[in-house]
Amino acid sequence: MTVAKETGRKVIASNRKARHDYLIEDTYEAGITLMGTEVKSLRMGRASLLDGFAIFYGDELWLEGVHIPEYVQGTWTNHTPRRRRKLLLHRTELDKLMAATRESGRTIVPLSLYFKDGRAKVEIGLAKGKKAYDKRHALRERQDQRDMDRALNSRGRGE
């Protein structure tokens, strides 16, 4: 009996708030160490990256604050929903991130959680916090662009 292997990218959760609150300078794809019940819960499409962040303990990068709910059919082997999870990156990428986060105002935030060819991956971003006026400016630009698009579309239909 052969099992069909998953191919492609299936997004489980994305953190849209991170792109609003932070200026993303660089992105990395990282593997993540998970327990069996966490994988099963993710395959059901359940996760939240809203309060997530990555932090260095020693020379390893750990993901904290990400909520993967308990697996419904799980037993005593179930996982803790907000446990710390190790991120898997190459040593050169870890060294770059460690040096960058030592600078003030920079942090590492999870942007999306997905399956790629059957393996769970996390897209993390090296981010710098936006000020309130930067957020307002970005919202204003987006609203102006929407208004322009609407005006052009209504003019093109002969109205």
All structural domains of the chain with their residue ranges: 9-130
9-14 and 22-32: which strand pairing?
Answer: unpaired
| Rounded-to-integer distance, Cα 75 and Cα 115, Å | 24
Q: In the numeric block, which tokens belong to residue 138?
A: 């970005």
Q: Is the pLDDT of residue 158 over 60?
A: no
Q: Does domain 9-130 have CATH number 2.60.120.680?
A: no
- What pLDDT is attached to residue 91? 92
Question: The whole model's pTM is what?
Answer: 0.73
Highest mean predicted confidence (pLDDT) among 10-14, 38-42, 63-67, 103-107: 63-67
Summarize pLDDT for 26-77 with one digit per residue, the tens: 889 988 888 777 787 788 877 878 888 888 888 888 988 888 777 766 666 6
